[in-house]
Structure 1
Amino acid sequence: MTAVPSTNQTPTPETTAVPSTTLVLTPETVDEYVDGIAAFLGGTANVIMQLSLRPVGRGVLESTVDSGKVTLHPAKRMRTTLTYIAVALLGTDAERAAYRAAVNTSHRPVRSTASSPVRYNAFDPKLQLWVAACVYWGIDDLYTRMHGPMDEATADAFYHYAARFGTTLQMRPELWPANRAEFHRYWNENLEQHTIEPALREYFDNLIDMTMLPWPVRFTFAELHRFCVTALLPEHLRNEMGMSWTDRDQRRFDRFLRVLTAVHTRLPKPLRMFPTNAYLFDLRLRIRLGKPLV
């Protein structure tokens, strides 16, 4: 794996080829496809997908940056992660650059040591490609489950736009698969090779069961959270986690989503976008006040 030579390097502007006749999304128009509920439903499942790539997972397990650990600071970790998604989706180029610089500071010490079982570097653009792919796949999957598939033009436009999940960090645009067919080949070929080692499985189980949160929160939400995480994991990772999922479970989850979608689509747009819009507002306020971004 190749590390980026400079932690201050700014990726080149997005140049992923998009035919001139297709729909092109912008931060001003993509918000029609931003469902804030995805952060609550799909967040942990997406983390498991990202960390199933062993170098990414070992980077989190071995990280010495305590301030960014979800097990120690769950509220801060949620803020920084969801702010990254918010600024990648809706932020200006200047806001994305500011957040990239802040994340670089946190990522700088995240690299393997002589005792690490695999080599990794948080600045590796290929690892960032996998993380970006997981975020895109998760958002697209949950959107499709809730609203049905996008039409082809919109799906292509959203896919090309989603390269921003990687280019907001160090991933160069040319690493993003050229089209959705190539993406799905990349996704399937890589996902099937991932195995979850016992230490990561224990880490994931703690996330799923919300062991870092106060008891009343765990008592109220942990069972539902595990149900949703199991539902939203790809089958391969579900098996790696030792989770069971039946046709009856799938029918229950489909009914749950139908009810949730019926309520969610009737909310005013600012509420439908929450908390994505709230974290973007918080980022802009932090920039204005000169406060730390991560």
Structure 2
Amino acid sequence: MTSEPSSPPAAAATPRRRSREELDALDSSFLARSLLLTGTLSGTANVIMQLANPAVGYGVARSTVENGRLDKHPIKRARTTLSYLAVAVLGNAEDRKRYRKAVTGQHAQVRSSGDSPVEYNAMNPELQRWVAACLYYGAEETYQLVYGPLEGADRERFYQQGMVLGTTLQMPAELWPEDRAAFERYWNEQVAKISISDEIRAFLLGVAWTEYAPERIRKRIAEDKYRRTIGYLPPVFRAALRVDWTATDQVWFDEYLAEAIRKERRRPLWVSQLGYRLLLWDVRVRYRMGRRLV
């Protein structure tokens, strides 16, 4: 790696701050090819990755915003989370501005109390950056599994579009690592800090095992969903979650993943994105009718 110049030009040290209007208008069409698929295939695993940051984990597990809790209102929480992805990558500037305002109303209520072992505040841009980084990581992995390697200018363009995952929330653009190499450094630094306490582990395993679903549904899907979720996790996150993953499990997951990739390669892109386009339509209708977005 070449060393940085000791006295970089002032313009390089202080990049131009983009207006919120510019950020909301960011193009994310390239990113959309895989991010929406990531939400469908490996969304639960990505949630676990996000919550491996202790502040995010306790913020979600101990949230007092009852109507936004996954374990108490799983259908609503799934809708609002997937709607956020739809707005971020398929919506326009107005959609993003409206959804950010709605999410802010929820996040502003999520703060640690005096008995929390970890201080957290859902409005913290650093925590939002971590959430966006996990989503981007999943999107890049999915893209390369389905469409092949991202290289050169394509990889950088894909990465820059990932900024919208944070700026659709409250993360300022300046927090998004400046290029893909900087993101790699940031990612490795953050992964080295992940920690899952017994309390958060129990919460996450409950999510992985679909414990919040009705029993008749749980009996049908829980075991396969759990194996898919753990299979999608990078090994370092499996270790932090302290779960067993055998060679037999890996063979099962590899076969499942190969079939999922084959199906996706045969499926027209518009079909893969149809559910998210319907969610975006739902967000717009809700706004016009004066109903809550989240």
Q: Per the shorter chain, which TM-score range?
A: 0.7 to 0.9
Q: Aligned equivalents of 1:168 and 1:265: distance in 2?
A: 29
Q: Deviations over 1:54-101 (max 9, x none)?
A: 111111122110000111110000011111111111111111000011
Per-residue deviation, 1:35: 5.9
Matched-pair contact (CA < 8 Å) for 1:50–1:56:
yes
Q: Percent identity?
A: 39
Q: Which moved more, 1:71-80 or 1:247-256?
A: 247-256
User: What's the counterpart of residue 279 of structure 1?
Assistant: 279
Matched-pair contact (CA < 8 Å) for 1:36–1:274:
no
1 or 2, which has the higher helix percentage? 2
Q: Aligned equivalents of 1:48 and 1:254: distance in 2?
A: 20
User: What's the counterpart of residue 27 of structure 2?
Assistant: 26
User: What's the counterpart of residue 135 of structure 1?
Assistant: 135
User: What's the counterpart of residue 176 of structure 2?
Assistant: 176
Q: CA RMSD in A?
A: 2.0
The 3-state SS of whatever aligns with 1:121 is coil
Q: Aligned equivalents of 2:39 and 2:273: distance in 1?
A: 10
Mapped pair 1:79 → 2:79: yes
Q: Deviations over 1:122-151 (max 9, x none)?
A: 111011100100111111112222332223
The 3-state SS of whatever aligns with 1:72 is coil
Per-residue deviation, 1:248: 4.4
Aligned residues: 275
Q: Say which structure, 1 or 2, has more relative contact order (CA 8 Å, 6+ apart).
A: 1
Q: Aligned equivalents of 2:123 and 2:32: distance in 1?
A: 31
Per-residue deviation, 1:270: 2.7
User: What's the counterpart of residue 116 of structure 2?
Assistant: 116
Q: Give structure 1 regions of 4+ aligned residues with deviation exceeding 6 angstroms.
A: none
Per-residue deviation, 1:280: 1.2
The 3-state SS of whatever aligns with 1:245 is coil
Q: Aligned equivalents of 1:137 and 1:88: distance in 2?
A: 16
Q: TM-score, normalised by structure 2?
A: 0.87
Matched-pair contact (CA < 8 Å) for 1:35–1:272:
no
Structure 1's unaligned 5+ residue stretches are 1-9, 16-24
User: What's the counterpart of residue 191 of structure 1?
Assistant: 191
Structure 2's unaligned 5+ residue stretches are 1-18
Matched-pair contact (CA < 8 Å) for 1:208–1:226:
yes
Report the residue type matching 1:87 in the other structure.
V
The 3-state SS of whatever aligns with 2:213 is coil
Q: Decide whether aligned partners of structure 1 residues 34 and 240 sit closer, same or farther in structure 2, where only a CA change above 3 A counts.
A: closer
Matched-pair contact (CA < 8 Å) for 2:146–2:265:
no
The 3-state SS of whatever aligns with 1:166 is helix
Q: TM-score, normalised by structure 1?
A: 0.87
